[in-house]
């Protein structure tokens, strides 16, 4: 298929990018305090006023075993954290929603209205009253906020414990996991979720596709190295460098892909699960055993075959051309290009979901289209980059890319002394930084979930 061949032709972009392929976390707008607060004569209650907000905006992250540090799925849990919730929403820290609303509109917008913030603050101030469970408030629409069905779950056969030192805190490991043998027909992955095991040390997860004819090569890479899995800086290695089936970075929770689209997977294939481990958080306590899993929604047919397109300047990957000088508080690099001659056989394509990725020095980033006539169309803009809140964002109105247009990614970093990471309790001195695989290196990456036009 076109997507398979063209991705291989563009394989120089398939480095260990921390993708969050269309992965959104929480709910979209609705009732339950969107526009009005409760009657001033009565304090807000959990069941009538707060539960609808938390179910719609918070619990896709705040659940038992979720990426948030505590759950908010019951009254007792919400009451225990009422004061924290009040302070967080007042400060604009929670729920996190990085996209600039003037750039584009997305599904699963988890930002709160002013009225919803007032409800949470008033509820906390009143002592977090419970209310009547028999008379709940109207739920908020939670469209595209979670993986709706798990058809296949895969994970390595054993736990893996990475090895870290202060000088080498990053380790990349690839695990070769066969697609289930009872899936005997060609199928399409229509949703994805990663379930990190030891979250304190899992930096990112990417699931790569290994075609049936390539599986033995990947299995040999595994066999040639002691222990489960093999070292895989720069992608999964192997004959094709891999094609993405989905990915995870901090802040991603998992969801379905664009309705009617999916990523093709054949019987006898395998998933190459790349886990990037970083030990900066566990250097003092020691590495943890990890068994990260990935879950897929699978359907027998789709209307349009899709692919995940990583987007960056290929020169950044293999040289030090993406220089971020020590001490410079505002460094910018950008890249724009028309990928259709190389990626799609000259065909246009539809963009359903953009994403952006940088590391800890990132400040702001933009993904956009520069139309053939010169006009710029914003797809995603993050004005206050936070490494811990990354994801792909499903466009409410998909955008068509025509041959002659150019995809553009622009990133800004702060490499000043005040913005350096703390390692071993000490803030590090600034140093020149370039594109690299490590957490203390940097990247400037856009990702797009797309479907190519029929020829």
Q: What is the DSSP letter of 139?
A: P
Q: pLDDT tens digits for 334-362?
A: 999 999 999 899 999 999 999 999 998 99
Domains of the chain: 2-24+147-452 (2.60.120.230), 27-143 (no CATH)
40 pLDDT higher than 60: no
* Structure confidence by residue, pLDDT tens digits, 73-123: 999 999 999 999 999 999 888 888 899 999 999 998 888 999 999 999 999
Confidence (pLDDT) at 279:
86
Nearest C-alpha neighbor of 144 from the set 22, 35, 62: 22
Residue 303 clears pLDDT 80, i.e. is over it: yes
Vertex 35 angle, CA 92 and 107, to 5°: 65
Q: Are 276 and 16 in contact (CB under 8 A)?
A: yes
Does 414 have pLDDT greater than 50?
yes
Q: How far is CA 324 from CA 329, 362, 382, 383, 420, in A?
A: 9, 11, 19, 19, 13
Does 51 score more than 50 pLDDT? yes
Question: Rounded CA gap, 451 and 449, in Å?
Answer: 7
Decide if 283 contacts 171 (C-beta within 8 A): no
* Cβ–Cβ under 8 Å, residues 83 and 89: no
pLDDT score recorded for residue 31? 37
pLDDT surpasses 90 at 8: no
Sequential DSSP letters for 243-287 = EEEEEE-TT---EE-STTEEEEE-TT-EEEEEEEEE-TTTTTT--
**The whole model's pTM is what?**
0.83
């Amino acid at each position: 298929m076109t997507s398979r061949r063209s991705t291989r032709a563009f394989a120089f972009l398939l480095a260990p990018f921390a993708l969050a392929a269309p992965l959104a976390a929480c709910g979209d707008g609705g009732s339950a305090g969107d526009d009005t607060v409760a009657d001033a004569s009565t304090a807000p209650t959990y069941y009538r006023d707060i539960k609808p907000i938390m179910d719609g905006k918070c619990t896709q992250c705040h659940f038992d075993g979720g990426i948030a540090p505590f759950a908010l799925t019951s009254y007792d849990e919400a009451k225990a954290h009422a004061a924290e919730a009040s302070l967080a929403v007042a400060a604009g820290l929670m729920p996190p929603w990085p996209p600039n609303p003037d750039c584009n509109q997305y599904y699963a917008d988890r930002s709160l209205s002013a009225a919803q913030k007032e409800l949470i603050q008033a509820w906390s101030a009143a002592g977090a009253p419970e209310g009547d469970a028999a008379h709940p408030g109207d739920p908020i629409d939670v469209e595209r906020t979670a993986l709706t069905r798990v058809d296949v779950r895969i994970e390595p056969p054993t736990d893996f414990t990475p090895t870290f030192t202060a000088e080498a805190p990053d380790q990349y490991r690839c695990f070769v996991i066969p697609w289930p043998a009872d899936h005997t027909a060609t199928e399409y992955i229509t949703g994805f979720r990663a379930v990190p095991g030891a979250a304190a040390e899992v930096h990112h997860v990417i699931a790569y596709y290994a075609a049936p004819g390539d599986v033995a090569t990947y299995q040999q890479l595994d066999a040639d190295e002691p222990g489960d899995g093999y070292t895989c800086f720069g992608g999964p290695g192997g004959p094709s460098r891999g094609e993405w089936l989905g990915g995870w970075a901090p802040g991603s929770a998992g969801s379905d892909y664009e309705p009617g689209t999916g990523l093709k997977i054949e019987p006898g294939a395998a998933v190459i699960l790349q886990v990037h481990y970083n030990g900066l958080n566990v250097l003092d306590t020691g590495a943890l055993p990890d068994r990260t899993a990935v879950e897929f929604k699978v359907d027998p047919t789709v209307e349009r075959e899709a692919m995940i397109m990583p987007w960056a300047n290929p020169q950044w990957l293999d040289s030090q051309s993406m220089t971020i000088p020590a001490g410079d508080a505002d460094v910018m690099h950008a890249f724009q290009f028309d990928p259709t001659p190389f990626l799609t056989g000259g065909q246009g394509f539809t963009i359903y979901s953009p994403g952006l990725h940088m590391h800890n020095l990132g400040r702001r980033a933009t993904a956009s289209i520069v139309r053939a006539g010169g006009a710029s169309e914003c797809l995603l803009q993050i004005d206050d980059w936070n490494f811990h809140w990354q994801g792909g964002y499903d466009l409410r109105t998909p955008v068509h890319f025509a041959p002659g247009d150019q995809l553009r990614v622009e990133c800004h970093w702060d490499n000043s002394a005040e913005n350096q990471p703390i390692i071993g309790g000490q803030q590090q001195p600034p140093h020149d930084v370039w594109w690299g695989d490590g957490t203390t290196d940097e990247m400037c990456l856009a990702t797009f979930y797309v479907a190519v036009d029929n020829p």
